[in-house]
């Protein structure tokens, strides 16, 4: 059924939460910008200056504050910081807020220079950081609220996939892993489909209906309630087929996205380059050497030395507890394979009985780990103190010493055992192109609860795409994961 404006009621309902969300973002941004400007004005010039003109200044800073707040909000809108294509997930929303704010204050500096205006530096020095940081915090808090709704099955974007069964399964499983991104496959149109509409595809026990072939997309949108069309069968549809699809979707309130088939490659490595009228995606090579690695090494050293200094009292208390719990050394050195396949001794607080490695063979039948990993939730070799320090990953803290020695990094792939590496194929061996990490994507995405394939995928994704920004974000998420004891045993 269609409403008076020609849009399908299900589509209107699908976008309703986003429209409401954008309105709340606008009012939140407005309040933050006004408060930041008012705070800067009051701190720099005093409360009375808000309603009176101080003759000590050539500028009326009350008018300046009003103009600054208005232009700030206009620039946030101009940079599309509340576009429904960026809100709720990804870094693009944060990047746009930062870019808009920095552009505003760059514009202020240029105007002041051109018109020879003497703006109070303290005023801008307060308004800029307070406003920017509070805007980013506000967006983060809103995202937390949206993420809770999405985990409960609300506020999701229904997607209709134009592609084959294998592509549908991959996309549906990927969206399921990242439920907080808010996408869900609700239907599929299979190009050149010769079956009966109404059949379905089984994805992890969930049945996704097939609505026909590529000519059935518009009708499938109406029936399924999807508001986004994802095309994976680009080769099958061809240039004219995709162009026809774009024209069909033009009058509808539906997004069209094209899956490139380039998986686990982050945005900074992808660049759109139109060549001879064709939109080609250029994939930059991953960088493992040079200045980028040197910068990571300097960060590792500074972070690890600071952590070891701050954690010295914790080290002393844990060492005392291990000594009192029974005989044996405080530290345990476990062989791991590091950068380029070189072995090293990874240092941990001892959490098991002495010579625990000798008992592994007798416990293999009870292995709960994935793939080549050995894990047990109720490992009889773990001591009383060991259960506590393993629960909160305190036993891993001495690995900061490995980081200082250059054997590990603060963030990186999980450090593998020799027997694991001996079972690697050529693809998995790419994990050894960077130093293993004390934490990493595997740590913040489920730890011991991950399947082997998923752990490998996360490690390879990190190796291919790592950056200093991602390292800082992973460290922040690690603190949360450790405090929640997620996947630790």
DSSP sequence for 306-347:
HHHHHTHHHHHHHHHHHHHH-SS-SEEEEEEE-GGG-EEEEE
Same domain, 193 and 295: no
Task: Please report which helix (H) or strand (E) contains residue 305, including its range.
Answer: helix 291-310
The answer to whether residues 115 and 229 belong to one domain is no
Q: Do the domain assignments include residue 41?
A: yes
Binning pLDDT at 50, 70 and 90, where does residue 83 land? confident
What is the pLDDT averaged over residues 22-30? 93
Whether 3 is covered by a domain: the verdict is: no
Of 130, 151, 172, which residue constitutes the final position of a domain? 151
Shared domain for 218 and 299, answered yes or no, is no
Percent of the chain at pLDDT exceeding 90: 23
What does the alpha-carbon distance between residue 436 and residue 202 come to, in Å, rounded to a whole number?
A: 37
Give the pLDDT score at 171: 85
Same domain flag for 431 and 350: yes
Does residue 362 share a domain with residue 234?
Answer: no
Instruction: Give a yes or no: residue 422 inside a domain.
Output: yes
| Rounded alpha-carbon distances, angstroms, from residue 446 to 1, 366, 481 | 43, 20, 8
| DSSP tag of 57 | S
pLDDT tier for residue 446 given thresholds of 50, 70 and 90: low
The pLDDT of residue 445 is 74
In this structure, of 46-60, 273-287, 323-337, the range with the lowest mean pLDDT score is 46-60
pLDDT at position 113 is: 79
Per-residue confidence (pLDDT) for residue 374, from 0 to 100:
55
Q: How far is CA 19 from CA 22, 27, 124, 348, in A?
A: 5, 13, 33, 51
| Mean pLDDT value across residues 444-465 | 74
Q: Which of 295, 191, 286 minimizes the C-alpha distance to 238? A: 191
Q: What is the pLDDT of residue 320?
A: 93
Q: Where are the alpha helices (DSSP H) in 1-120?
A: 9-45, 61-78, 92-114
Instruction: Pick the more confident residue, 35 or 147.
Output: 35
Please state which of the ranges 142-151, 207-216, 291-300, 348-357 shows the lowest mean pLDDT.
348-357
Q: What is the CATH number of the domain that holds 213?
A: 3.40.50.720
Give domain status of residue 477, yes or no: yes
Residue 273 domain-assigned (yes or no) = no
Final residue before a domain boundary, out of 120, 151, 182:
151
Residue 268 counted as domain residue? no
Give per-residue pLDDT as tens, 411-420.
Answer: 998 888 888 8
The sign one gets for the Cα dihedral 118, 121, 126, 127 is positive
Residue 267 belongs to some domain of the structure? no
pLDDT at residue 400 above 80? yes
Regarding predicted confidence, which is higher, 387 or 196? Answer: 387
Integer Cα distance of 254 and 15 in angstroms: 10
Domain extent, residue 229, equals 157-259
- Average pLDDT over every residue of 438-447: 78
For residues 123 and 234, membership in a common domain is answered with no
The mean pLDDT of 342-368, rounded to a whole number, is 73
Q: Do 235 and 300 fall within a single domain?
A: no
Q: Assess whether 118 and 52 both reside in one domain.
A: yes
Residues 307, 451 within the same domain: yes
Residue 356: predicted pLDDT: 61
Of 111, 128, 151, the last residue of a domain is 151
pLDDT band for 195, please (50, 70, 90 cuts).
Answer: confident
Residues 330, 308: Cα–Cα separation, whole Å:
17
pLDDT score recorded for residue 290: 63
Lowest mean pLDDT among 64-73, 87-96, 331-340, 349-358: 349-358
Task: Name the least confident of 157-166, 246-255, 366-375, 392-401.
Answer: 366-375
Same domain? 110 vs 200: no
> Residue 462 domain-assigned?
yes
Name which residue leads in pLDDT, 193 or 348: 348
| Statement: residue 315 has pLDDT above 90 | yes
- For 45-62, what is each residue's pLDDT tens digit? 776 555 554 544 455 778
Q: Span 291-298, mean pLDDT?
A: 82
Number of domains in the chain: 3
pLDDT at 6: 41
Residues 146 and 162 in one domain: no
> Looking at residue 26, what is its pLDDT?
94
Instruction: Please tell me the least confidently modeled range out of 43-52, 190-199, 245-254, 467-476.
Output: 43-52
| pLDDT confidence of residue 79 | 92
Q: For residues 360 and 367, what is the distance between their CA atoms, to the nearest angstrom? A: 9
Average pLDDT of the residues of the chain: 80
Do residues 27 and 139 both lie within one domain? yes
In this prediction, residue 12 carries a pLDDT of: 46
* Residue 373: band (very low, low, confident or very high) from pLDDT cuts 50, 70, 90: low
């Amino acid at each position: 059924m269609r409403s008076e404006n020609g849009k399908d009621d299900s589509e209107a309902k699908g976008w309703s939460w986003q429209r409401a969300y954008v309105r709340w973002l606008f009012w939140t941004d407005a309040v933050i910008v006004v408060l930041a400007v008012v705070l800067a004005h009051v701190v720099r010039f005093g409360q009375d200056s808000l309603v009176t003109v101080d003759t000590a200044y050539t500028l009326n800073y009350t008018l300046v504050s009003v103009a600054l707040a208005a232009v700030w909000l206009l620039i946030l809108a101009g940079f599309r910081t509340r576009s429904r294509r960026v809100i709720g997930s990804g870094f693009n929303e944060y990047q746009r807020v930062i870019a808009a704010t920095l552009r505003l204050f760059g514009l202020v500096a240029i105007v002041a220079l051109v018109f020879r205006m003497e703006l109070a530096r303290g005023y801008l020095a307060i308004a800029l950081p307070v406003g920017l940081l509070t805007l980013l915090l506000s967006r983060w808090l809103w995202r937390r609220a949206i993420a809770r709704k999405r985990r409960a099955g609300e506020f999701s974007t229904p997607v209709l996939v134009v592609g084959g069964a294998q592509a549908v399964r991959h996309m549906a499983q990927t969206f399921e892993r990242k439920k907080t991104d808010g996408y869900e496959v609700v239907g599929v149109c299979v190009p050149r489909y010769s079956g009966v509409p109404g059949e379905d595809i089984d994805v992890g026990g969930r049945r996704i209906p097939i609505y026909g072939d590529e000519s059935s997309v518009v009708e499938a949108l109406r029936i399924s309630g999807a508001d986004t069309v994802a095309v994976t069968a680009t080769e099958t549809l061809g240039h004219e087929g995709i162009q026809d699809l774009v024209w069909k979707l033009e009058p509808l309130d539906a997004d069209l996205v094209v899956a490139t088939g380039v998986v686990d490659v982050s945005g900074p490595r992808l660049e759109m380059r139109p060549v001879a009228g064709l939109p080609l995606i250029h994939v930059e090579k991953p960088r493992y050497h040079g200045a980028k690695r040197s910068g990571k090494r300097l960060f590792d050293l500074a972070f690890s030395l600071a952590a070891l200094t701050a954690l010295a009292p914790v080290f002393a208390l844990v060492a005392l507890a291990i000594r009192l719990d029974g005989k044996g050394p405080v530290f345990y050195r476990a062989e791991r394979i590091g950068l380029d396949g070189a072995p090293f001794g990874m240092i941990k607080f001892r959490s098991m009985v002495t010579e625990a490695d000798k008992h592994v063979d007798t416990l293999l039948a009870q292995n709960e780990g994935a793939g080549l990993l050995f894990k047990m939730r109720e490992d009889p070799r773990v001591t009383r103190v060991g259960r506590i320090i393993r629960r909160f990953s305190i036993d891993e803290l001495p690995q900061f010493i490995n980081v200082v020695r250059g054997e590990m990094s603060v963030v990186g792939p999980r450090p593998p055992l020799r027997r694991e590496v001996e079972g690697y194929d050529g693809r998995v061996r790419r994990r050894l192109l960077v130093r293993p990490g004390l934490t990493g994507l595997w740590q913040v995405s489920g730890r011991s609860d991950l399947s082997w394939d998923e752990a490998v995928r996360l490690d390879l994704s990190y190796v291919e795409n790592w950056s200093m920004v991602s390292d800082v974000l992973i460290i922040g998420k690690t603190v949360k994961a450790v405090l929640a004891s997620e996947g630790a045993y």
